[in-house]
């Protein structure tokens, strides 16, 4: 695997560190750092292993990516080549990270372990994308460093809710992580299925036609909303359940920290809304490019502007969930 340039790799690691700190701080009690590091490392190692397996076993399948011109073509690919292997990798990594702590890991820590694994997975995936974008490596590093890490974390929240129940029931009801894996893999496949025809056409023609956009848009919107709502609901439920089981929430110092976190969340939420309005205004008022060849740098900046504003809104909401 080709490594991204050092500045881009540093940007990816910076984004990952922010997510780890967020997932530690937003819960009533942070997970032990040994567990956090074990989960992060497990996510990285298992993702490297997945990459090696895919390169050896499914090279011909990946070469047929150009044929994904419709949703019906893209959905099987998204299920069997994306959803099942990627979510299986994260599920296995989360279980491996928890094994050394199985006697004392709390349900909340099991949920957090899934989040740290997702961050490790995103580090490997993001650096791979950054290494392929040459002069735009830094834009890709920051763009995917925040947005793709958020996506993998949202999917991990869905699986984490099932793993939380599995640990709470004494590691005996094995159907819970299995069901959680299948549900998460399905959500991941639906998230990707609408985007694959658009990306496939762009790679073939360097443009995307209106009929392709119209046909894929319902699936794109539906997949994003499904992952976003299910993931954030799972996180909210996990935080509140952890707060019910932890006496630290009654301490005055902790309550002061909760108030500070919620104030910060309000500020970030407001900035995100203002940023989204500014991004929409820019998109409506900016002059279209005068050249036939798309400006990849400008397109990445525009996408990061919209995505960053939405990320800020989500981050503000998450900070407000502190208990």
Residue partners of 167: CB distance under 8 A and separation at least 6: 98, 105, 106, 107, 110
Residue 170 CA to residue 154 CA, distance in Å, equals 25
Place of tokens 């820019």: 282
The domains of the chain are located at 6-250, 251-287+294-323
Structure letter (DSSP) for residue 28: S
Residue 320 CA to residue 259 CA, distance in Å, equals 9
CB 94 within 8 A of CB 55: no
Residue 199 φ/ψ, nearest 5 degrees: -65, -40
Residue 274 CA to residue 254 CA, distance in Å, equals 30
Amino acid 5: pLDDT:
83
Residue 90 CA to residue 44 CA, distance in Å, equals 10
Amino acid 61: pLDDT:
45
Number of alpha carbons in the 13 Å side-chain half-sphere of residue 220: 12
Residue partners of 195: CB distance under 8 A and separation at least 6: 216, 220, 223
Residue 164 CA to residue 64 CA, distance in Å, equals 38
Amino acid 192: pLDDT:
93
Residue 203 CA to residue 132 CA, distance in Å, equals 14
Residue 270 CA to residue 96 CA, distance in Å, equals 39
Residue 167 CA to residue 105 CA, distance in Å, equals 8
Q: Could you give the residue ranges of the DSSP H alpha helices within the chain?
A: 6-25, 33-57, 59-63, 71-77, 84-98, 107-131, 137-168, 175-193, 195-205, 210-244, 252-285, 296-319
Amino acid 138: pLDDT:
87
Below-50 pLDDT ranges, the chain: 60-62
């Amino acid at each position: 695997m080709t490594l991204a340039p050092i500045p881009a790799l540093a940007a990816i690691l910076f984004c990952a560190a922010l997510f780890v700190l967020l997932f530690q701080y937003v819960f009533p009690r942070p997970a032990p750092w040994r567990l956090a590091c074990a989960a992060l490392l497990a996510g990285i190692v298992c993702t490297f292993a997945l990459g090696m397996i895919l390169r050896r076993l499914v090279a011909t399948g990946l070469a047929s990516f150009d044929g994904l011109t419709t949703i019906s073509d893209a959905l099987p690919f998204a299920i069997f080549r994306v959803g099942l292997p990627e979510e299986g990798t994260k599920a296995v990594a989360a279980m491996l990270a928890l094994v050394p702590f199985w006697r004392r890991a709390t349900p909340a820590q099991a949920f957090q372990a899934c989040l740290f694994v997702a961050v490790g997975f995103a580090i490997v995936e993001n650096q791979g994308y950054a290494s392929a974008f040459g002069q735009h490596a830094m834009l890709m590093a920051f763009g995917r460093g925040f947005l793709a890490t958020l996506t993998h974390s949202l999917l991990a929240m869905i699986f984490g809710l099932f793993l939380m129940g599995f640990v709470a029931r004494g590691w005996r009801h094995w159907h819970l992580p299995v069901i959680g894996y299948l549900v998460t893999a399905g959500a991941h496949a639906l998230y990707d299925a609408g985007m694959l025809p658009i990306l496939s056409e762009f790679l073939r023609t360097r443009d995307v036609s209106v009929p392709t956009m119209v046909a894929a848009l319902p699936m794109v919107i539906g997949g994003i909303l499904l992952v976003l709502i299910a993931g954030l609901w799972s996180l909210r439920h996990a935080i509140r359940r952890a707060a019910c089981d932890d006496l630290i929430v009654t301490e005055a110092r902790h309550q002061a920290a909760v108030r500070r976190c919620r104030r910060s969340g309000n500020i970030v939420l407001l900035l995100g809304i203002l940023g989204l309005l500014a991004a929409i205004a820019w998109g409506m008022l900016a002059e279209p490019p005068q050249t036939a060849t798309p400006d990849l740098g400008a397109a990445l900046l525009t996408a990061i502007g919209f995505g960053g504003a939405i990320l800020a809104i989500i981050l503000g909401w998450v900070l407000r969930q502190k208990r």
